[in-house]
Structure 1
Amino acid sequence: MKRIVLWFLGTASAVILMFGYHTSTSGPQATTPVPAGTFTPPPTTSPSASASAQPSVAGSSTATGDVAQTQWGPVQVQLTVQSGKITAVSVPQYPNGNHRDAEINEYALPILINETVQAQSAQIDMVSGATVTSDGYIRSLQSALDHVK
């Protein structure tokens, strides 16, 4: 009888501790600063879903890729090309509907942007842990590159 009571109390304690545990997503949102200029926050108005190339500052042009729909939200890439080289990349649309999306993309987008500028093409690696965003980014990037050439 003593063993049964101890077993029951131990089991009840374990269950109470498991349900009482607060995960990191249940507390106040943590903010991770993103280096300035790494990516552009989403616009207040929704840009057109079609890709376009527009002349920009002296000898450079801006190309906006198609919006790539992903399971977590839209991704859109905008390039600035000068003398045939990608000089700047911004991401006007990306999944940011919740804390986890924002956390993933604050990490992933600067990596994707850096790889784009280094590779000068859409042949870049996906970011582990941000596969869906990476896939949408690459599709929109290729669309923007297709409108530059």
Structure 2
Amino acid sequence: MRRAVLATTGISALIVTLLALKPHQPPALAAVPPRSPLASSSPHTPGSTPSGKPSGTGTYTGDPIDTQYGTVQVAATLTHGRLTAVRVLRAPDQNGRDQQIASYALPRLTQEAIGAQSAHIDAISGASYTSQGYIQSLQSALDQAHA
């Protein structure tokens, strides 16, 4: 009986100690504004505003990016230098799981990119490869818009 009490007490103390070590709230992250890939180092180039953003309207097709699960390619639409739409041209779709991941990740990535006005966005959890392909293709489209 004494061994059972000692074992229970020891286990309880171990659990309390482990719970005390686990942070109960995630640490606050410093907010860093995203850097726009459209910013220019030159003060003013023809066809752009003084801020360096392209002043025109157009749709620019990004490079196709091969990922472990398939190719990702997007087209970015800019209106007066602002990112207004991103259309997914190619995404991994070899099986049902690829299609499921693309169906929830790609709309979120598009929403984030338009909100950030850049390709400097976070990857979607569970869709790391698709997210990285999307971000790289979007960056190449934005680079074309700037050129």
Q: Structure 2 length as normaliser, TM-score?
A: 0.61
Partner SS, residue 132 of structure 1: helix
**1:111 maps onto 2:119 in alignment:** no
Q: In the alignment, which of 123, 126, 130 is matched to residue 129 of structure 1?
A: 126
- Structure 2 counterpart of 1:69: 66
Aligned counterparts of 1:105 and 1:79: Cα–Cα separation in 2: 18
Letter in structure 1 aligned against 2:132: D
For residue 95 of structure 1, report the CA deviation from its aligned partner: 0.2
Partner SS, residue 144 of structure 1: helix
Structure 1 unpaired stretches of 5+:
1-58
Q: Structure 1 length as normaliser, TM-score?
A: 0.60
Aligned counterparts of 1:75 and 1:124: Cα–Cα separation in 2: 16
Partner SS, residue 124 of structure 2: coil
**1:82 maps onto 2:79 in alignment:** yes
For residue 83 of structure 1, report the CA deviation from its aligned partner: 0.4
- Structure 2 counterpart of 1:60: 57
- Structure 2 counterpart of 1:96: 93
Moved over 6 A (4+): none
Which one has the largest radius of gyration? Answer: 2
Which digits, 9 at most, give the CA deviation of each residue in 1:83-125, with x for residues without a partner? Answer: 0001111001000110000001100000000001000011100
Letter in structure 2 aligned against 1:146: D
Letter in structure 2 aligned against 1:61: G
Aligned counterparts of 2:84 and 2:100: Cα–Cα separation in 1: 26
Aligned counterparts of 2:77 and 2:138: Cα–Cα separation in 1: 12
Aligned counterparts of 1:115 and 1:145: Cα–Cα separation in 2: 15
Aligned counterparts of 1:96 and 1:112: Cα–Cα separation in 2: 17
Residue-pair matches, total: 91
Q: Percent identity?
A: 54
Letter in structure 2 aligned against 1:138: I
Aligned counterparts of 1:80 and 1:123: Cα–Cα separation in 2: 17
For residue 60 of structure 1, report the CA deviation from its aligned partner: 1.8
